[in-house]
């Protein structure tokens, strides 16, 4: 009998150097898309998938991230007094109940695999999810929920996958496909950041995973891989060596790489246009900008 996935790890220890100087004082994960921080999108997606326990792997300078999920009694009282009930409900949706959230420190930046390994004692012997907040996914049904529903049929390990142009494969972990079943693929290998002409497919792994506790055992034995870091993909590939099942899910939705400035700006526009109260004014502005650029050429 397969166990339900109720725990998720959020690796948020990175310094966010691509967003300096903003990230000198503000953790990247609480930079906002429209009016919600990146981490809120990740939390909402996890909740929709049935996650009950949230484990953050952090580092120095992330206290603002921890404070974000705390209750704010003075602000709540002020909103209540002014009758701003809608804002009050929005604020309450960001609160996390006592005991639902845990923080683990990653003292050295040794890679994603190491960040996941840091949370091993809180995972114990249960399957768990990993969510990278940099990857924001706009989807009718949240990506992790698509994965947990598929996982109920498959078990094993599962990664979110999307097709990328071959010349961009070197930026991702790439799947070597054993059997293509449509939205689901059975995997026979994974290659971290292959050269464009050596990629086994154009199916790239993006920041959503459902993993078995065996992956943590694999990480116990891990040595540094690509880039001198402990790679999570190597630990998942070890599952294939042990003849345990690994699947890729072609999720339905649009992924934005909010770890890059261009991706963050694209996501801001897309999520802004999706908001009823913003779409008319924003789309008119964008049309004017495009018209002015064309006229200038």
pLDDT tens-place string over residues 42-78:
999 999 999 999 999 988 777 777 788 777 788 888 8
pLDDT at 274: 92
In the chain, what percentage of residues exceed pLDDT 70?
96
Task: Kindly list the domain boundaries of the chain, sorted by start residue.
Answer: 7-259
Q: Which of 244, 189, 190 is nearest to 215 (CA)?
A: 244
pLDDT at 222 over 80: no
7-259 belongs to CATH 3.90.550.10: yes
Integer Cα distance of 150 and 155 in angstroms: 8
pLDDT at 166 over 70: yes
pLDDT at 107: 81
3-state secondary structure the chain: CCCCCCEEEEECCCCCHHHCCHHHCCCHHHCEECCEEHHHHHHHHHHHCCCCEEEEEECCCCHHHHHHCCCCHHHHHHHHHCCCHHHHHHHHCCCCCCCCEEEEECCCCCCHHHHHHHCHHHHCCCCEEEECCCEEEECCCCHHHHHHHHHHHHCCEEEEEEECCHHHHHHCEEEEEEEECCCEEEEEEEEECCCHHHCCCCEEEEEEEEECHHHHHHHHCCCCCHHHCCCHHHHHHHHHHCCCCEEEEECCCEEEECCCHHHHHHHHHHHHHCCHHHHHHHHHHHHHHHHHHHHHC
Q: What is the mean pLDDT of residues 144-161?
A: 92
pLDDT at 145: 95
Q: What is the mean pLDDT of residues 67-93?
A: 82
In the chain, what percentage of residues exceed pLDDT 90?
39
Q: Residue 102's Cα: distance from chain center in Å?
A: 17
pLDDT at 66: 79
pLDDT at 223: 64
Is 185 exposed, middle or buried (CB count within 10 Å of its CB: 0-12, 13-18, 19+)? buried
Q: What is the mean pLDDT of residues 222-243?
A: 75
User: What pTM does this model have?
Assistant: 0.88
pLDDT at 226: 53
């Amino acid at each position: 009998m397969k166990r339900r996935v109720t725990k998720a790890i959020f690796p948020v220890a990175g310094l966010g150097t691509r967003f300096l100087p903003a990230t000198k004082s503000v953790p990247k994960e609480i930079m906002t898309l429209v009016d919600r921080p990146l981490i809120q999108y990740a939390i909402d997606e996890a909740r929709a998938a049935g996650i009950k326990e949230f484990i953050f792997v952090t580092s120095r300078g992330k206290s603002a991230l921890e404070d974000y999920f705390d209750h704010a009694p003075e602000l709540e009282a002020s909103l209540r007094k002014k009758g701003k009930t809608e804002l009050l409900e929005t604020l309450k949706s960001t609160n996390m109940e006592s005991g639902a959230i845990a923080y683990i420190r990653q003292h050295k930046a040794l890679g994603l695999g190491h960040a996941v390994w840091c949370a091993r004692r809180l995972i114990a012997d249960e399957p768990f999810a990993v969510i990278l907040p940099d990857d924001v996914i706009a989807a009718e049904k949240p990506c992790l929920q698509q994965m947990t529903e598929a996982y109920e049929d498959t078990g094993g390990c599962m990664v979110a996958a999307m097709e990328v142009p071959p010349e961009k494969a070197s930026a991702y972990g790439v799947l070597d496909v054993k059997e293509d079943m449509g939205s689901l693929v059975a995997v026979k290998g994974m290659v971290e950041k292959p050269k464009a002409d050596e990629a086994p497919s154009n199916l790239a792994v993006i920041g959503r995973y459902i993993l078995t506790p065996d992956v943590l055992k694999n990480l116990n034995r891990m040595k540094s891989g690509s880039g001198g870091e402990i790679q999570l993909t190597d630990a998942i590939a070890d599952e294939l060596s042990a003849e345990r099942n690994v699947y890729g899910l072609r999720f339905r939705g649009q992924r934005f790489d909010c770890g890059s400035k261009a991706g963050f700006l694209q996501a801001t526009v897309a999520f802004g246009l999706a908001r009823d109260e913003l779409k008319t004014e924003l789309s008119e502005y964008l049309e004017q900008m495009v018209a002015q650029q064309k006229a200038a050429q």
